[in-house]
Amino acid sequence: MHQTARSLQLKDFRLIEAIHETGQLALAAEQLSISQPAASRMLAAIERSVGGAVFERHPKGMTPTQVGLTLIRNGSNLLNGLDQTLNEIRSLSEGLAGTARVGSVTDGAVAFVVPAIQELKKTATGADIHVDVAPSDVLVEGLFRGEYDFVLSRIPPGYDKHQLEVRRGRHEDICFLMRAGHPLASRPAAPLAGLAGHEWITQAPHTPLRQAVESVFVSAGVALPRDIVNTTSMLVMIAYLASSDAIAPIPRQVAALLASNGHSGGLVTVDPEEKIIVSPYFLISHRTTIISAIAARLREMVFAAMNRAAD
């Protein structure tokens, strides 16, 4: 039995399957692109290996014996498993399947990562995508730990930039998000002093967004807001804004999503009279990390979208 198993090859099972499908040795040979004499010799060798006839010959064709049915059944499982394996390998190599792990600041996730994933999924339905939204220090630390294939992030101090591949950056333009009934909601733009007079819910001190906002206030000679709730949670921020007269400085791309299509339960945006721009974030990869084909494909799609937005 061991010798029989070793003597049968994948091409033998494909011939048996082809004969079963067509009912004719000549048609099976044509289907497999081999000559009929070669197919006849292969079948004879198979029957010697299993010790009996695989097909019964009739004037109108060939039908499988019990031995043949066993070979057909098990051969079908074998060939299907092999085909599936080869398809999975092909999908992996072509970037149609596999795992991609992405980290991003909020603006990058909304503006570029989400649309790129949606585009990728049109052809790569087997892709396993993981996305984290976090501050830059968390993202870059995760990149160095191998937790991400690439990130959209700023580079905090203390990291060796020589180990990183850094691509084109993007600035964040800040506006203010508030509930639709807020006293400032009807204004197209609000003075800094008017914004400072309200309660704020925003990122913690020393984050790039908070620093950019405070810098504009200081440069304009306007006192900083004193009544502040600090949070990194977008859900907490939305809930707080919806039930109070608080305001939140937020990247314009994110605010546009939250204030449209009823996503946020009636939130609107107001521009500051002084433009507020946050330092740019970049598409960053670690030079020594080998990423999957699907991750590389997603990274290129994100990068292309960032280039289009900049042009």
The CATH number of residue 16's host domain is 1.10.10.10
pLDDT tens track for 61-78: 999 999 989 898 888 878
Query: Would you say residue 308 lies in a domain?
Result: no
| Residue 138 in tokens | 């968390």
Per-residue model confidence (pLDDT) at position 237: 92
Rounded to 5°, the CA angle 233-235-210 comes to: 40
The answer to the question of residue 52 being in a domain is yes
Asked if the structure places residue 289 within a domain, the reply is no
* Residue 265 pLDDT class (50, 70, 90 cuts): low
185 lies in some domain: yes
Q: Are residues 76 and 179 in the same domain?
A: no
Q: Does 133 lie in the same domain as 81?
A: no
Task: Look over the chain and give the mean of its residue pLDDT values, rounded to a whole number.
Answer: 88
- Please tell me the predicted confidence (pLDDT) of residue 84: 63
pLDDT at 157 over 60: yes
Domain boundary among 44, 75, 93: 93
Is the pLDDT reported for residue 311 higher than 80? no
Among 78, 93, 108, where does a domain finish?
A: 93
Q: Which of 38, 67, 93 is the last residue of a domain?
A: 93
Give the pTM: 0.67
User: Is 285 a member of any domain?
Assistant: no
How many structural domains compose the chain? 2
Residues 46 and 110 placed together within one structural domain of the fold: no
- Note down the domain range covering 235: 100-280
Token code pair at residue 30: 């044509």
Tell me the longest C-alpha to C-alpha distance in the chain: 101
Specify whether 244 is located in the same domain as 131: yes
Q: Do 72 and 41 share a structural domain?
A: yes
- Whole-angstrom distance, CA of residue 302 vs CA of residue 296: 10
Does residue 263 surpass a pLDDT of 60?
no
Residue 165's CATH number: 3.40.190.290
Residues 240, 151, single domain; the answer is: yes
The pLDDT of 8-25, averaged and rounded, is 90
Determine the pLDDT at residue 1. 42
- Mean per-residue pLDDT, 158-184: 91
pLDDT tens digits, 101-148:
999 998 999 999 999 999 999 988 878 899 999 989 999 999 998 899
The rounded distance, in Å, linking the Cα atoms of 305 and 311 is 10
93 pLDDT above the threshold of 70: no
The residues with which 173 forms a beta bridge, in sequence order, are 277
Q: Are 150 and 242 contained in the same domain?
A: yes
What's the pLDDT band for 35 if we cut at 50, 70, 90? very high
In this structure, are 146 and 214 located in the same domain?
yes
Residue 220: inside a domain: yes
Same domain assignment for residues 124 and 271: yes
Is the domain of 56 the same as that of 197? no
Backbone angles phi, psi at 263, to 5 degrees: -60, -30
Q: Is residue 303 part of a domain?
A: no
pLDDT per position as a tens digit, 209-259: 999 999 999 999 999 999 999 998 888 999 999 999 999 999 988 888 887
Same domain, 64 and 80: yes
Q: Is residue 303 predicted with pLDDT exceeding 90? A: yes
Model confidence at 97: pLDDT above 90: no
Q: Assess whether pLDDT exceeds 70 at residue 281.
A: yes
- Domain match, 55 and 122 both: no
215 within 8 A of 186, measured Cβ to Cβ: no
Task: Report if residue 174 sits inside a domain.
Answer: yes
Looking at residues 283-291, what average pLDDT do you find? 90
